[in-house]
Chains A and B, each alone.
Chain A
């Protein structure tokens, strides 16, 4: 995508990675879209009582073009699945995905013709949060874990959103 892809393997990045990862994890911009019940708990997390701004995430973006974190909050129906995929594709790199709740992670209690049995069938997921719906504390925990994950990434490292890095 950028300069980092041209760095040969023999070069090891340390401080650059540290600074890039620190800035990426400290200002994650979530994509503000909700699907179902979990979206209400997601709003609760952003609202005053739980105040997600403490973790550098107060700006939700209504457009995928400006966001780097997608929180799939709720059940994904078969009709919505292409839309979710398209929204994910519209997000610029680097991007991360949190699958919030049982329905997004595995279909939850709805094992039927209408619901996609896990959003990881269409987009790569970084963090799965269990619960139906998860409590705001659980969502915050998931986000903190995602931040830890970002800390250990390298701008050179393999990323699932890169075509060449896919298994």
Chain B
């Protein structure tokens, strides 16, 4: 190869402020133009799938929190729904509503962090400060329900860890009133901002066919104009009862992804409002002896309840043999859990279909022919979380 046509290899990461963690991308450049981008993974490999084989079913839940750490409740929900499917448990209405409420809150949480960090990468430094300020309101709710700001582990097999707190109503109402105003502020700052438009419009284009071929999901797929959302396509946890729209894009570029995510946040607020207003009364756990722990007062006064409590927390519960798959629409896309049971108290094999991992494969087609600076915009607009990519 003659010197005139020699390409340059540029290493990006694993320590780089714009790779959202420890992603490493090896870029092949011709001058400033990107010829190929190869993501190198595994810098945050945690071995969650393998470790799950050694844990009782209910002990896997805290580990699912730590995969997509921006959307812990969505991870919990996917896992819990799969195990409930295996056991054939039907949860009370209140649990379904609470789960919808909190997973939509999680979507807001994830999208807010995305907005802040993506804007920071593009150069709008102040957005990250605004987004994290509003995120504190959401974390207040996390803390109120579960006692933890991030790793909630609130959803359990057959219900919730505890009843919803009495002051939840006020906290959600505050979010429902404050966040739309703040989102208007964000859009005033960004949507017509000349730098923002120039950096994002026409950058990282993906056609609908490409997106489907790569099996990307979530806002990345919807920005190309494909109206696919698991909440509508295969409703779970009572989503069919809620009235909301699926925003889709037209061009499939980074700017459309921004618009889609902003509209998704509005729709999430709409769902949260419905869930809060329609929240039924009732128990927060299904009544399944041997699987769902009995209420604490019963444990202290009744013999059978004490035995069940003891047995659940020492030897766990048995799950019928077979393999099951359940997917949910996490903020990043289709989050699926495939669990194989051999009839024991631990999963024989657990496989997670992480949306970030599969969406990351779209990076190469998105950046080919673009500039190096566009790679940063594309990584940001895919919205990856490395904890989920590497697991």
Q: List residues of chain A with CB under 8 Å of any chain B CB.
A: 32-37, 39-41, 43-44, 47-49, 62, 64, 74-75, 77, 79-80, 83, 87, 109-110, 112-115, 132-133, 135
Contacts and interface: CB of A to CB of B under 8 A. Distances in A.
Interface stretch (B89-97, B125-133, B287-295, B297-305): B125-133
A80 B45 CA distance: 9
Contacts, number: 89
Contacts of A43: 128, 132
Nearest to A60: B17
Given A36-B66, A37-B69, A47-B133, A112 B21 contact: no
Contacts of B376: none
Chain A binding site: helix, strand, loop or mixed by DSSP? Answer: loop
Contacts of A35: 21-22, 44
B151 A87 contact: no
Contacts of A112: 46-47, 50-51
Contacts of A83: 14-15, 22, 43
Nearest to B132: A47
A36 B386 contact: yes
B128 A77 contact: no
Interface of B: 14-17, 21-22, 42-48, 50-51, 62-63, 66, 69-70, 113, 128-130, 132-133, 135-136, 149-151, 386-387, 390
Contacts of B47: 110, 112-115
23 contacts: A33-B17, A34-B21, A35-B44, A36-B21, A36-B44, A36-B66, A36-B387, A37-B66, A40-B113, A47-B128, A47-B129, A47-B133, A75-B44, A77-B390, A79-B43, A80-B44, A83-B15, A83-B22, A110-B63, A112-B50, A113-B47, A115-B46, A132-B151
Contacts of B46: 75, 77, 110, 112, 114-115
A126 B348 CA distance: 41
Contact of A79 (B42, B51, B69): B42
Contacts of B133: 47-49
Contacts of A110: 46-48, 51, 63
A35 B112 CA distance: 19
Contacts of B14: 80, 83
